[in-house]
Amino acid sequence: MISKRLETVASFVSQGAVLLDVGSDHAYLPIELVEKGHIELAIAGEVVVGPYQSAVKNVENHGLSDKIQVRLANGLAAFDESDQVSVITIAGMGGRLIASILEEGFDKLAHVERLILQPNNREDDLRNWLQDHGFQIIAESILEEAGKFYEILVVEAGQMKLSARDTRFGPFLSKEVSPVFVQKWQKEAEKLQFALGQIPEKNQEERRVLTDKIKAIKEVLHASK
Ligand SMILES: C[S@@+](CC[C@H](N)C(=O)[O-])C[C@H]1O[C@@H](n2cnc3c(N)ncnc32)[C@H](O)[C@@H]1O
């Protein structure tokens, strides 16, 4: 059993894909997909020795060493063209780190069909990076697990033009306005409102930034009613 978060990431991996999971930790995601028969080949990339060793052990314990190669590598250095990777997942890291991993290995992305990205924060920076580097978001998902909210971006080559609102709230998520989306942004608005209450009246610029953020959230949530 993998987490609802990883299960949702997995649901966007195309049937029969050759998968690279960057930052695989225990290799839960590739193991799940191979065991279900959804894919046949995967690479689990991990840059830190401890998690790399857990991934190797886990893959061995599941008897999948012939189907899942675990590689100790930084980001996209885990594969080259001969691996014919078609889908890359990067989950459970900050949005800026995900963008920097993609940027560092940018040239290798030309033959990859799909990226499935699950940033833990700074989704806005990641969306901006994708827009500036010839990628388009083709689907998004949001979920809540153990009190945390997670956004998942499904990305392919192409152009997109995001408004400021799309960048912050997600082009698909802000149209769908699911109950989880509403919960996430209501909670965020409450936090910002609390922070605003702590800022003295004389710090007008600081107050204005927060007030604008709260206003943008209210607009997105009200637009759905
Ligand atoms: C919080 S864990 C997430 C594990 C798994 N992807 C998940 O979503 O449950 C992040 C993992 O990414 C690894 N990591 C961070 N930066 C990396 C990089 N540049 N290349 C490969 N792995 C990286 C960390 O060592 C860690 O094991």
Residue 3: name the closest of 32, 39, 45 by CA: 32
Nearby residues of 99 by Cβ (< 8 Å), 6 or more positions away = 125, 126, 129, 130
Query: Residue 123 and residue 129: Cα distance in Å, rounded?
Result: 10
Residue 114 CA, chain-centre distance (Å), reads 12
Nearest residue by C-alpha to atom 3 in ligand 1? 92
Residue type, 200: P
Q: Exposed (0-12), middle (13-18) or buried (19+): which is 158, by Cβ within 10 Å?
A: exposed
Residue 88: closest CA among 114, 123, 66, 55: 114
CB 121 within 8 A of CB 168: no
Residue with CA closest to ligand 1 atom 19? 75
Bin 158: left if φ > 0, else alpha if -120 < ψ < 50, else beta: left
| Ligand 1 atom 24, closest CA | 23
> Is residue 150 a contact partner of residue 9, using CB atoms and an 8 Å limit?
no
| Beta-carbon count within 10 A of 98 CB | 28
Q: Give residue ranges with CB within 6 A of ligand 1.
A: 6, 22-25, 45-48, 51, 74-75, 91-93, 101
pLDDT on residue 225: 64
Q: What local confidence, expressed as pLDDT, does residue 1 receive?
A: 75
- C-alpha 22 – ligand 1 centre gap (Å): 7
- Residues near 1 by beta carbon (within 8 Å), at least 6 away in sequence: none
**pTM of the full predicted structure?**
0.97
Taking only the tens place, the pLDDT of each residue in 142-175 is: 999 999 999 999 999 999 999 999 999 999 999 9
- Please give the pLDDT value at position 23: 98
Atom of ligand 1 nearest to the CA of 90: 6
**Is residue 67 within 8 Å of residue 75, measured between CB atoms?**
no
Low-confidence ranges of the chain (pLDDT < 50): none
Give the phi and the psi of residue 115 in degrees, each rounded to 5.
Answer: -115, 135
CA of residue 135 to ligand 1 center, whole Å: 22
Which is the closest atom of ligand 1 to the Cα of 3? 9
Distance CA 27, CA 57 (A): 9
Under DSSP, is residue 51 helix (H, G, I), strand (E, B) or coil? helix
Q: How far is the CA of 74 from the centre of ligand 1 (A)?
A: 10
∠ CA(137), CA(138), CA(141), 5° rounding? 85
Q: Which of 3, 5, 26, 47 to mutate to test the pocket of ligand 1 (most atoms within 8 A of CB)?
A: 47
